[in-house]
Amino acid sequence: MNYIVAVDKNWGIGKNNDLLFSLRGDMKFFKETTMGSTVVMGDRTLLSLPKSEPLKGRDNVVMTLDENFKPDGVTLCHSIEDLGKYLKEKNPEKVFVMGGATIYNLLYDYCEYAYITKVDAVGDADVFIKNLDTLDHWEMVEEGKTLEENGLKYRFCKYKNNQIKEM
């Protein structure tokens, strides 16, 4: 399993249940990377998507503790154990955690790779994820060139988890 996210300098990822930055290059990277894959998200992330609908061309899995939350077109999981059972038959290389912060922070140790878009700015975030640069068992294995869009500099980085937990 992997995760994919854009972060600011403080590893902030969002504000008011929305993304911090609107970068077409990052959106294109996200779409190309996750198309045809399984995406795992929390219920608030699903609700933040356009029309609160699942992403097209992907198997959408929503983690929620709310037993009354029953949106169309998604698979619901209510625990890490449920998620592990559902993902057992999936190719782990084609599974991407896509938010929000609670789900990232719950699942990052179960992920082998993290695809991080690092934005060289502070986005006034109200939600944050673990800073992989400060964790001994995560290491950056790829760092892309610096790109610029809308006055923002960013780069695509790939991290590897050297101590993956089993579900």
Q: Is there a domain that residue 87 lies in? A: yes
Q: Is there a domain that residue 20 lies in? A: yes
Q: Is there a domain that residue 166 lies in? A: no
pLDDT tens per residue, the chain (167 residues)? 999 999 999 999 999 988 899 999 999 999 999 999 999 999 999 999 999 999 999 999 999 999 999 999 999 999 999 999 999 999 999 999 999 999 999 999 999 999 999 999 999 999 999 999 999 999 999 999 999 999 999 999 999 999 999 98
Q: Is there a domain that residue 167 lies in? A: no
Under 8 Å between Cβ of 165 and 110? yes
**Residue 73 DSSP code:** T
Q: Is there a domain that residue 148 lies in? A: yes
Q: Is there a domain that residue 152 lies in? A: yes
What are φ and ψ of residue 78, in 5° steps? -110, 5
| DSSP helix/strand/coil, 164 | coil
Q: What is the value of pTM for the model shown?
A: 0.95
Q: What is the count of structural domains for the chain?
A: 1
CATH assignment of the domain containing 52 = 3.40.430.10
What is the domain range of residue 116?
A: 2-161
What value, to the nearest 5°, has the Cα angle with vertex 25 and ends 161 and 120? 65
Q: Is there a domain that residue 59 lies in? A: yes
**How far is CA 79 from each of CA 83, 85, 95, 101, 120, rounded to the nearest angstrom?**
6, 10, 17, 16, 34
